[in-house]
Structure 1
């Protein structure tokens, strides 16, 4: 009987603790739904450590941001929404009044298109709370074609979204390969001609 009560108490306490996840691996996909690498998110002192290992990018600097929805629909990832910004700040790490929580420093792809970078996302967390990347249904990590200028509103003039990874509350959804492909507008024209 004592064992049963102990198990029930343990399950109750565990259920009440909420999300206490401290690490998450995010698979990153390009606009053709090819996996191009990973982002490892780990709880650190004062925020999340982000370790990127990517390939297949154009050499040079690229903007990278956490966006507000866990959606990476091709071809342009606009379903990810705007930058994750629970405090309602302006965009840009160089903005004098603070930045979006989802603003990260630019990453540089080498001459072979590889990125091996370690970044910090101050104040962000994977645990419960307003600044959790897993709040609501979750968020996404987006890489842009160009570098973020750090001040322009609303997104730093960083250009089109070229890679996306889902940071979903449901970890199974985070691991899903994006399967939606863009529709061909000429298909509709052919249907009408028939």
Structure 2
């Protein structure tokens, strides 16, 4: 069998990609936990508590929120910087995006690691939140969320507008630790 140099390089490139994907998918957690207390920003009354528990390749996210607009949805994301010091939470930077992907539907494979499902508030402006996602880790590594910020936005994420889902001002922010 005669293989050209070009075909040989292509096969080597494909094999390297499979090896890299296998290494990345091997990273998994065994119960590592992190949490964040979110404080009101941008003149809102929104606040909350969020926990992250690493379970194998997934992260279980649970939260409780209050002070939200009644019967509404709010965007919810992990942001790049662990800094909630500015009054509008812009100090938290953009969405956490270690793989430089476009903003999109959580867990679609075509989204920022920090993209999460919207929060849904009840008639009293309270919300209980649960999601199970993958694409990030509960540690301080390159895909880790520890030391970053988690942010609630005023409006729902539309999961398509770039770069942040058109989810409006940041109304609550907390450091993940």
For normalisation by structure 1, the TM-score amounts to 0.69
| Equivalent position of 2:141 in the other structure | 129
Aligned to 1:23: 33
> Which residue in the other structure is 2:55 paired with?
44
Question: Hey, which bits of structure 1, 4+ residues long, moved more than 3 A?
Answer: 32-35, 94-97
**1:133/1:96 CA distance change after superposition, 3 Å:** closer
Asked whether the 8 Å contact 2:34–2:51 carries over to 1, the reply is: yes
Q: Which residue of 2 aligns with 1:81?
A: 93
Q: What's 2:69 paired with?
A: 58
2: CA distance, partners of 1:106 / 1:143:
9
Higher strand residue share? 2
Mapped pair 1:140 → 2:149: yes
Structure-1 residue corresponding to 2:122: 110
Q: 5+ unaligned residues in a row in structure 1: which ranges? A: 1-19, 169-194
Tell me by how many angstroms 1:25 deviates.
Answer: 2.1
Q: Deviations over 1:73-118 (max 9, x none)?
A: 2310000000000000000117977100000011101110111010
Could you say which residue in structure 2 is the equivalent of 1:90?
A: 102
TM-score (ref. length: structure 2): 0.75
- Report the aligned-residue RMSD: 2.3
TM-superposed deviation, 1:64: 0.4
**Are 2:173 and 1:161 aligned?**
no
Cα drift, residue 48 of structure 1? 1.4
For residue 125 of structure 1, report the CA deviation from its aligned partner.
1.1
CA displacement at 1:33 relative to structure 2: 9.1
C-alpha separation between the residues in 1 aligned to 2:31 and 2:55? 12
> Residues 95 and 150 of structure 1 are in contact (CA less than 8 Å); yes or no, is this contact kept in structure 2?
no
Runs of 5+ unmatched residues, structure 2: 1-29
- C-alpha distance in 2, partners of 1:115/1:34? 14
The alignment of Structure 1 onto Structure 2 pairs a total of residues equal to 146
